[in-house]
Structure 1
Amino acid sequence: MSPVVVGGPALFIGGDATYVALLRPLLDPSDPGVRQAAEQAGVSPEEFAGPGNVWTLMADWEGDEDDEGGGFELPGMRDSEAEHFADQLSTALGSGEAFTIEAGSVLQLDARPVEDGYAFLARVTPPEPEGSPTLDVEIEPVPTATLLADIEEFRRTLA
């Protein structure tokens, strides 16, 4: 399920209330919001939009008003690593068993089967500043068929 439109490859795991997402946003320099943000930052819209090749990990969870998610850039991540994570997830979903997979040192995904899907515990470790606490995000069950379809769409957008 994709609660946010990002314009680039995006793999969301979860629902509207709680999720983790691995995405590579694409900003359009001609978008009025991007132009306004660039002006406020004192740079050109093209510079503000950047090359569109920096991966981001987003997490959203139910918490108090001041603590409901966030995200961070993964500047060293390559498309092949994102695709490898998607491949691992797809293979593990096919097993019907509990599993743990990782996306580098920033995301560990523990999954357990429930009825027609999986429930997840995502352990998100921000890369900066070093020593930042790991955040545990409980993700409500997601149907396996939905996850597999989202993974296939993610692979298509990477191609």
Structure 2
Amino acid sequence: MSTAMGGPALFIGGDTTFVLLVRPELDPADPGVRAAAEQAGVSPEEFAGPGDVWALVVDDTFEADGGFELPGLRDAEADHFAEQLHTALGTGEPFTVEAGPVLRLDARPAAGEAYAFTAHVTPPEPEGAPTVSLEIGPLPLAPLLADLEDFRRSLA
């Protein structure tokens, strides 16, 4: 799945509670990007940047709203996380997968063909920032598996 900003994105959740792993790619021709670049005093191309920095966005109207950059994350690591998640979902058993020290997903089967998740998100800065735990789902298994496959294809 891709976002309005372009680039690969993995969305896990619903309308109000979710985690989103995304590598945004801004379009220098976009009027909003051009206006922001002008305000910042740089060219639209410079403002858009290379589009190689990953971000983790979290939203839970009760606990958190925002996200942070993951400057050291590489595409291969994002793909490995998605592969682990895809494989574990196929077992029908509870499991845990991690995306480094910033994201841990505890998953458990739910009624029907679905999984519920507890996402534990720990911002890398400031050091010692508290971990936010979000309850997500249950999410239907088939669309989740399809989204994981789409995400992995977008990285290839």
TM-score range, shorter-chain basis? over 0.9
1:128 partner SS? coil
2:82 to 86, 92, 97: 86
1:13 partner SS? strand
The normalised TM-score by structure 1 is 0.93
**Cα deviation, residue 40, structure 1:** 1.9
Q: Which residue of 1 aligns with 2:20?
A: 21
2:79 partner SS? helix
2:104 partner SS? strand
Task: Find the aligned partners of 2:143 and 2:61 in 1 and give their Cα distance.
Answer: 22
Task: Find the aligned partners of 1:39 and 1:27 in 2 and give their Cα distance.
Answer: 15
Answer yes or no: is 1:55 the counterpart of 2:54: yes
Answer yes or no: is 1:157 the counterpart of 2:154: yes
**Cα deviation, residue 113, structure 1:** 0.6
Q: How many residues align?
A: 155
**Cα deviation, residue 124, structure 1:** 0.5
Q: Which residue of 2 aligns with 1:137?
A: 134
Task: Find the aligned partners of 2:14 and 2:4 in 1 and give their Cα distance.
Answer: 14
Q: Deviations over 1:99-139 (max 9, x none)?
A: 11100110000111102111111010101111111111111
Answer yes or no: is 1:121 the counterpart of 2:91: no
Identity of aligned residues (%): 70
2:107 to 82, 105, 111: 111
Name the amino acid aligned to 2:105.
Answer: L
Unpaired segments ≥5 residues, structure 1: none
Q: Which residue of 2 aligns with 1:31?
A: 30
**Cα deviation, residue 87, structure 1:** 0.4
The normalised TM-score by structure 2 is 0.94
Q: Deviations over 1:73-102 (max 9, x none)?
A: 000000000000000000110010111110
**Cα deviation, residue 146, structure 1:** 0.9
Cα pair distance change 1:69/1:140, threshold 3 Å: same
Name the amino acid aligned to 1:130.
Answer: E
> Contact between 1:123 and 1:137, CA under 8 Å: does it hold in 2?
yes
Unpaired segments ≥5 residues, structure 2: none
1:96-107 equivalences in 2 (<5 Å): 96-107=92-103
